[in-house]
Structure 1
Amino acid sequence: MVYVNGINMHVAEKEDPVVLFLHGFPELWYTWRHQILAFAASGYRAVAPNFRGFGNTDAPPSITSYTCLHVVGDMVALIGSLGFDQAFLVAHDWGAMVGWYLCIFRPDLIKAFVSFTLPFQPRHPKLKPIEGMLAFFGDDYYMCRFHEPGKMESEIAEYGAAAVIKKILTDRKPGPPILPKQNPFGNLRDIDDIKLPAWFSDEDLKYYASKYNHNGLHMYMEVGSKMMCRY
């Protein structure tokens, strides 16, 4: 645990010089568990934090504490706490969005950046990201459904964190991820019948579910959607 930017942040790390791994949703530092070992074996200091609100990192109660400036500020403070002037950055999904913001606000801290699944998207001068998503994908698009606090909690509760994570990480339907207002994750029996892929074990699922249950899955959805869509 390290104290940065007003919160206690959980990090997994090994060796040196520093490579910072940023997770996506619904993920945790655990996503990078194999890469941490591989990079450490190559002589790097591999560091994978849990973002604020995730896992064992502090979860401030107010949603206003999760703007891009808060989350990027956490990463700036984390790099400083490690005693390095610069870090290699490897990031996935909305963690990559944090990475892009970090490169925009503090490019001096980033030695090189690898972004998975998320290309650089310059901000539209007039259109907010959430407005663009609504226009292109409709209000059932997953980020639009997550954006308004309190709307999906009861639906999520019916399934439970393990079932929701399992559905998200194994879904292979083409097209944008849509969560209909009725049965957003499909039939519960269908979820029980899903076979996990070779790269994702029952043990992995139990780990993710236990950590997401720690603060409540709704907090994670709101954190990501607020940071990516509102600001």
Structure 2
Amino acid sequence: MEAEFAQIGTRRVLEEFLTYRNPSPLLLPKGKGFGHPTDEPIILPSWLTEEEVDYYVSTYEKTGFTGGFNYYRALDLNWEVTALWTGARIRVPAKFMVGDLDLTYNYPGTKDFLHKGGLKKYVPFLEDVVVMEGVAHFIHEERPQEVTQHIHDFFQMF
């Protein structure tokens, strides 16, 4: 995958990820990239500036994508290493926020887990689950004022 991303280019890969708004699972078939021509321009949304993309690009050009890929490559090992905490509960007040276009929110079973008590089972002091409409994965960048207000309101409870 690193070789494919190198072929696509760091800037293009990051622009694709940062502007991804398809709630379906992200599939990157070998040799197909993100599914459209890499010379097709990507129009950045109003919440994402060229300067921000430049920063991400400069960082990823230093570190590469291998660290992120290795997380997924080691999922089985991650479960082994964290087995001690299987079934552990988070016992502090919490609020969960997600965008309705986030592919993780739309992953099979996630909505039921969040809205039908699954998360509350593991986070008994869960105060609220907020689903922001029209927002994808980067909720803090897409709607910074709204996220900040939710955090502020949550802290005001204490």
- Category of TM-score, reference length = shorter chain: 0.3 to 0.5
Q: Could you say which structure has the higher strand fraction? A: 1
Higher normalized contact order (CA 8 Å, seq sep 6+, divided by chain length) = 2
TM-score (norm 1): 0.31
